[in-house]
């Protein structure tokens, strides 16, 4: 059985590794302890799986959004972010961060992991869920 790379050692170490790409967001936790958070940042609303220790805070928090690339294509045009079922599709400038990680600079900065190199400007479809790491 082929095993992929370990993408994180712990939520805390992942946030520490990529904290330079964190953004200020307003979190709205779902009731009854759901791990899904409604995230408002830079005028965008996304749903993300909370990778932090419970309980999730409400209000302004520094967060890091992370996704794993399912499909990728070269792309030209304005940055975008849209939901496609349980997945997100986004386009923007891809800056390599090393070891398969990229900062995809769309309407929201998202640290993505891609098994294959991404073009400088990329459109990606992420595997669900979009993940959220918090300070």
3-state secondary structure of 35: coil
pLDDT of residue 34: 81
pLDDT per position as a tens digit, 61-102: 999 999 999 999 999 999 999 999 999 999 999 999 999 999
Instruction: Pick the more confident residue, 8 or 91.
Output: 91
3-state secondary structure of 20: helix
3-state secondary structure of 91: strand
pLDDT of residue 8: 77
The arithmetic mean of pLDDT across residues 3-18, rounded, is 82
State the pTM of this model: 0.92
Q: Which residues pair with 49 in a beta bridge?
A: 36, 131
Delimit the domains of the chain by residue range: 11-134
The Cα–Cα gap between 79 and 112 comes to 15
């Amino acid at each position: 059985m082929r095993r992929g790379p370990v993408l994180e050692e712990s939520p805390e170490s992942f946030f520490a590794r990529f904290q330079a790409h964190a953004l200020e967001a307003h979190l709205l936790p779902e009731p009854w302890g759901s791990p899904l958070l409604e995230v408002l940042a830079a005028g965008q609303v996304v749903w993300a799986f909370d990778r932090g220790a419970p309980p999730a805070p409400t209000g302004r928090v520094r967060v890091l959004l992370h996704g794993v690339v399912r499909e990728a294509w070269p792309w030209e045009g304005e940055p975008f972010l849209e939901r496609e079922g349980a997945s997100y599709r986004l386009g923007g400038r891809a800056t390599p961060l090393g070891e398969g990680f990229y900062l995809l600079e769309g309407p929201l900065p998202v640290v993505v992991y891609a098994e294959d190199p991404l073009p400088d400007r990329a459109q990606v479809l992420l595997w669900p869920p979009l993940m959220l790491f918090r300070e």
